[in-house]
């Protein structure tokens, strides 16, 4: 399976967002990761529909939306219309998770479920066969630039094992504190999609950083 890189525009320069999106377009990145925060599920507010629409206007890569919001099912159609290709909701915010996943699929989007650092992987056993993607948070969601949580490696191994039993084509994404130092270990632990924010957009050469992350994935896959 290919190893994918999804730069997170939460770490981009909002005053030059079109420039940064065009940089990602020209890079070896596979997706553009967009963090949607509502100030309720997480203690921060980020992007809404107008910004996603504006990003999609310039993006040449699929938009990977991570909905860190309560009642995400209310907004799925609008995010699809704004340009989402992949939509991930949080296990912690979806009491009717199967129904929400089905709604995402009916919109023609990749359906993902995210787990906070303290949420056990085994809670997904009954639904993992229906998912396209599982997102393992390696920091507590809400802000960029946090320190990586080491227990992430165990969770990646756990979800990889779960996927091998019920869903061999499952995409395993990891988000938070990712850089060139830990990317190889994350790929080896089972991740096949890495979200990178500060390590890309704070780099002196963001395109080279993306290319290096992509190359680390190729080395694992070879």
The domain that holds 195 is classified in CATH as 3.20.20.70
- Residue 25: domain span: 4-221
Contact 54, 75 (CB under 8 A): no
**pLDDT for position 72:** 97
Residues 31-53 have a mean pLDDT of 94
Query: 35 catalytic, yes or no?
Result: yes
Q: What is the pLDDT of residues 53-110, one digit of tens each?
A: 999 999 999 999 999 999 999 999 999 999 999 999 999 999 999 999 999 999 999 9
Residues 149-156 have a mean pLDDT of 95
Confidence of residue 220 (pLDDT cuts 50, 70, 90): confident
Q: Which of 46, 98, 110, 48 is nearest to 73 (CA)?
A: 98
Out of 30, 35, 132, 179, the active site residue is 35
Query: 20 catalytic, yes or no?
Result: no
Q: How remote is the C-alpha of 170 from its chain's centroid?
A: 14
Q: What is the pLDDT of residues 105-143, one digit of tens each?
A: 999 999 999 999 999 999 999 999 999 999 999 998 866
Whether 222 has a pLDDT exceeding 60, the answer reads no
Contact 192, 1 (CB under 8 A): yes
DSSP string computed for the chain: ---EEEEBGGGS-GGGHHHHHHHHHHSS---EEEEEEBSSSSS-B---HHHHHHHHHH--S-EEEEEESSSGGGTHHHHHHHTEEEEEEEGGG-TTHHHHHHHHHHTTPEEEEEE-TTS-GGGGTTTGGG-SEEEEESS-TT-SSPPPPTTHHHHHHHHHHHHHHH-TT-EEEEESS--TTTHHHHHHHT--EEEESHHHHTSSSHHHHHHHHHHHHHHHH-
Q: How far is CA 137 from CA 95, 116, 132, 151, in A?
A: 19, 5, 17, 10
Number of domains in the chain: 1
**pLDDT for position 31:** 98
Q: 97: which 2 tokens?
A: 């998770």
Percent of the chain past pLDDT 70, that is, above it, reads: 96
**pLDDT for position 141:** 80
Contact 149, 141 (CB under 8 A): no
Cα–Cα distance between 198 and 1 in angstroms, integer? 26
**pLDDT for position 2:** 84
**pLDDT for position 147:** 83
Q: What is the pLDDT of residues 181-209, one digit of tens each?
A: 999 999 999 999 999 999 999 999 999 99
**pLDDT for position 144:** 61
Of 8-17, 19-28, 38-47, 112-121, the least confident: 38-47
Name residue 64's beta-bridge partners: 33, 86
Residues 139-153 have a mean pLDDT of 82
Out of 20, 30, 38, 175, the active site residue is 175
Whether 37 has a pLDDT exceeding 90, the answer reads yes
Confidence of residue 221 (pLDDT cuts 50, 70, 90): low
């Amino acid at each position: 399976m290919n190893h994918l890189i999804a730069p997170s525009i939460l770490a981009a320069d909002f005053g030059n967002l079109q420039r940064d999106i065009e940089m990602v377009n020209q890079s070896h990145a596979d997706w553009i990761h967009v963090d949607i925060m509502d100030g309720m599920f997480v203690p921060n507010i980020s992007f809404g529909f107008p910004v996603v629409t504006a990003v999609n206007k310039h993006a040449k890569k699929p938009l990977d939306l991570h909905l860190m919001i309560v009642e995400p099912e209310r907004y799925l159609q609008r995010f699809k219309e704004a340009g989402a290709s992949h939509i991930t909701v949080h296990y912690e915010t979806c009491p009717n998770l199967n129904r929400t996943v089905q709604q995402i699929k009916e919109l023609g989007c990749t359906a993902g479920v995210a787990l906070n650092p303290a949420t056990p992987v085994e809670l997904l056993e009954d639904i993992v066969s229906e998912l396209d993607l599982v997102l393992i948070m390696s920091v507590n969601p809400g802000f960029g630039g946090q320190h990586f949580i080491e227990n992430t490696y165990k969770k990646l191994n756990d979800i990889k094992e779960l996927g091998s039993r019920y869903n061999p084509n499952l995409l395993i994404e990891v988000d938070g504190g990712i850089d060139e130092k830990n990317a190889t270990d994350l790929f080896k632990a089972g991740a096949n999609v890495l979200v990178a924010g500060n390590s890309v957009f704070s780099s002196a050469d963001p395109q080279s950083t993306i290319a290096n992350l992509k190359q680390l994935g190729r080395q694992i896959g070879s």
